């Protein structure tokens, strides 16, 4: 996890522009480098480093003797760099997994490079010989990337939008900053002036397609067919493989146990601990849960930690601490989406604790499971298995705007690196290839197939494996009064009724419908005025008449006290 930043064709003094690069310093607390490009005085790279691999040669932009004309700035982890080295005979000069990008590009060009990478990544690759700039981002946008491109060819690229919004440029008062689309790469021509022109934007991978790099995976071909035992076995094999490949780190690994419903992060933690023992990692796994006093998530996490035998940390926060964090959270997130802000507060506070009180840096989490395995409660209302499958794909496609954005920014704000095995390319493409009727909720229980697959593994206690779903922002509160209702009571005092009545006039795009959303929007506009289009729409459940995105407002929701 790092912060990357680059400019091409800047009219302004680079020493002034580089102040913008400091806005993402939290992403790489270990080192910083700012480097001009030979022969292009108005082009430069900025890099904030979190040292997770190769402490000695891990600085960027990465340049190697073999390809002196290539410059690479990347944020991510490429899990199959050793398999690709073996397959193609690459000679690496560093221990940095990202170096493989240079060798793949030299061997087969940008399309093959992006398609062959098994991992999470956002990168800027410059080829000064062929005068080309390439941008690319992984399938689910687990690693963030934003860009700004003006009409006269000034290009700015950054891990977070906050590193681009204050850039100075002669012809544009407020250039449009936008997220770079996941699963795409872009080719740009670099002119002698340092300015660029976009040539093409290409989608290199769709989440339903088996990735090209499967051919070089450590797991051989799996048995085909959709009989239940085969499917369950394949799910277990691929999920375990997804966790195993993510163990690549020279820094301490930890795991969140405060994800939605407990199931997703609990499965990750249980498999993680099993594999750490197998490969003789000689420190205990630290697990982390956050909540208010006696919250359902804390109690469930305690059971899981006791069952798997992790070194467990509980972070207890009160409503005042949660409310005080809101502004920092919205600044970090760069969004005003209601459910994202709500769920981010707990994750932001637990990340802050991990950074201050422990030495865990690489943090595993359960993001992506709800979207992939139809874990949201409203999936019970899906009119048909086919429509449920379509909705699952839509949610995965938009993850970079919601849960993946939350998970990245809340952890990166405190210099932590997130790993999300549920979004493994091969695991997700397999799960999405299964017949639609296998993937729907059954017997009133969502994620039925996933739970069933691990039922006989003894990885988790039965009551956790089959625990009903909690929304993260609700699970961290006590059952009597959910975190979101505590928030709303506070906000009620902060936003006048008259302001809400006139909300649509003040904010015509995505107008706030509640005091809570008005409050978040106000804070967002303070930091990012006029940038509301970064959020195309609010996250809301489908097939139900919902005015609030919290699971607790849906009829299907049952707390433990009602059972």
Binding-site residue positions for ATP: 256, 290, 365-366
Annotated binding site for L-glutamine: 97
Give dist(CA 116, CA 214) in Å, integer: 9
Cα pseudo-dihedral 223, 217, 360, 139, rounded to 10: -90
Tell which residue, 213, 267, 220, has the closest CA to residue 243. Answer: 267
Report CA 517 to chain centroid distance, whole Å. Answer: 23
Tokens 């395995």 found at: 373
Residues 6+ apart with CB under 8 A from 352: 413, 414
The CA-CA-CA angle for residues 74, 396, 21, to 5°, reads: 30
Tell which residue, 293, 310, 268, 333, has the closest CA to residue 476. Answer: 293
Q: Rg of the chain over CA atoms, in angstroms?
A: 23
For the beta sheet containing 67-78, the strands, ordered from the edge strand earlier in sequence to the opposite edge, are 62-64, 67-78, 119-127, 132-137, 184-190, 196-203
Exactly one of 2, 43, 158, 255 is catalytic; which is it?
2
Distance from the first to the final alpha carbon of the chain: 42
CA distances in angstroms from 54 to 60, 157, 164, 360, 455, listed in the order given: 12, 25, 29, 17, 39
- The SS3 assignment for 244 reads helix
Query: For the range 96-102, what are the long-range contacts, defined as Cβ-Cβ under 8 Å and sequence gap of 24 or more?
Result: 96/53, 96/54, 96/57, 96/58, 96/62, 97/53, 97/248, 98/60, 98/62, 98/72, 98/74, 98/123, 99/62, 99/64, 99/72, 101/72, 101/74, 101/125, 102/62, 102/64, 102/66, 102/67, 102/70, 102/72
By DSSP bridging, strand 40-49 and strand 3-8 are antiparallel
- Residue 373: Cβ within 10 Å count: 25
44 is catalytic: no
Report CA 95 to chain centroid distance, whole Å. Answer: 24
Residues 6+ apart with CB under 8 A from 84: 90, 100, 103, 104, 116, 213, 216
The CA-CA-CA angle for residues 183, 187, 188, to 5°, reads: 140
Annotated binding site: 97, 256, 290, 365-366
- Residue 282: Cβ within 10 Å count: 5
Tell which residue, 113, 116, 68, 77, has the closest CA to residue 96. Answer: 77
Q: Known catalytic residues? A: 2
């Amino acid at each position: 996890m790092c912060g990357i930043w680059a400019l091409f064709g800047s009219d302004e003094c680079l020493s002034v522009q580089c102040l913008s690069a400091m806005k993402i310093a939290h992403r790489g607390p270990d080192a910083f480098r700012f480097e001009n490009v030979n022969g292009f005085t108005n082009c430069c790279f900025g890099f904030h480093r979190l040292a997770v691999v190769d402490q000695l040669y891990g600085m960027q932009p990465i340049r190697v003797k073999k390809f002196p004309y290539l410059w690479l700035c990347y944020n991510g982890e490429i899990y199959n760099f050793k398999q690709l080295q073996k397959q193609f005979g690459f000679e690496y000069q560093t221990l940095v997994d990202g170096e493989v990008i240079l060798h793949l590009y030299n061997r087969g060009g940008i399309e093959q490079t992006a398609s062959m990478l098994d991992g999470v990544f956002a990168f800027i690759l410059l080829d000064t010989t062929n005068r080309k700039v390439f941008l690319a981002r992984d399938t689910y946008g687990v690693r963030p990337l934003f860009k700004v491109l003006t009409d006269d060819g000034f290009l700015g690229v950054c891990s977070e939008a906050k590193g681009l919004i204050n850039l100075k440029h002669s012809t544009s008062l407020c250039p449009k900053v936008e997220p770079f689309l996941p699963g795409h790469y872009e080719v740009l021509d670099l002119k002698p002036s340092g300015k660029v022109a976009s040539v093409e934007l290409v989608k290199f991978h769709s989440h339903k397609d088996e990735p090209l790099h499967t051919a070089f995976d450590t797991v051989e071909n799996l048995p085909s067919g959709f009989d239940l035992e085969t499917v369950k076995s394949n799910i277990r094999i691929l999920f375990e493989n997804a966790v195993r490949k993510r163990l690549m780190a020279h820094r301490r690994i930890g795991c969140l146990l405060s994800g939605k419903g407990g199931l997703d992060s609990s499965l990750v933690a249980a498999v993680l601990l099993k594999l750490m023992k197998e490969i003789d990692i000689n420190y205990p796994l630290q697990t982390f849960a956050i909540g208010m006093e006696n919250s359902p998530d804390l109690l469930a996490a305690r059971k899981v930690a006791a069952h798997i035998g992790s070194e467990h940390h509980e972070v207890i926060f009160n409503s005042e601490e949660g409310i005080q964090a809101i502004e920092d959270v919205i600044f970090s997130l760069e969004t005003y989406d209601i459910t994202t802000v709500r769920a981010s507060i707990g994750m932001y506070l637990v990340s802050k604790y991990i950074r201050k009180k422990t030495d865990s840096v690489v943090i595993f989490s359960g993001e992506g499971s709800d979207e992939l395995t139809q874990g949201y409660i409203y999936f019970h209302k899906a009119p048909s298995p086919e429509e449920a499958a379509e909705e699952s794909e839509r949610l995965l496609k938009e993850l970079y705007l919601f849960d993946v954005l939350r998970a990245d920014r809340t952890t990166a704000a405190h210099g932590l690196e997130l790993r999300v095995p549920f979004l493994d390319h091969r695991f997700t493409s397999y799960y999405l290839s299964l017949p639609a009727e296998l993937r729907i909720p059954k017997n009133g229980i969502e994620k039925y197939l996933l739970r069933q697959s691990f039922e006989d593994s003894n990885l988790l206690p039965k009551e956790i494996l089959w625990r009903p779903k909690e929304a993260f922002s609700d699970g961290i509160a006590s059952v009597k009064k959910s975190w979101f209702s505590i928030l709303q009571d506070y906000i009620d005092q902060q936003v006048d009724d008259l302001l809400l009545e006139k909300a649509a006039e003040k904010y015509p795009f995505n107008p706030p419908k509640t005091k809570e959303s008005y409050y978040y929007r106000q804070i967002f506009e303070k930091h990012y005025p006029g940038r509301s289009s970064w959020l195309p729409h609010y996250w809301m459940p489908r097939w139900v008449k919902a005015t609030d995105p919290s699971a607790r407002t849906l009829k299907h929701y049952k707390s433990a006290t009602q059972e």
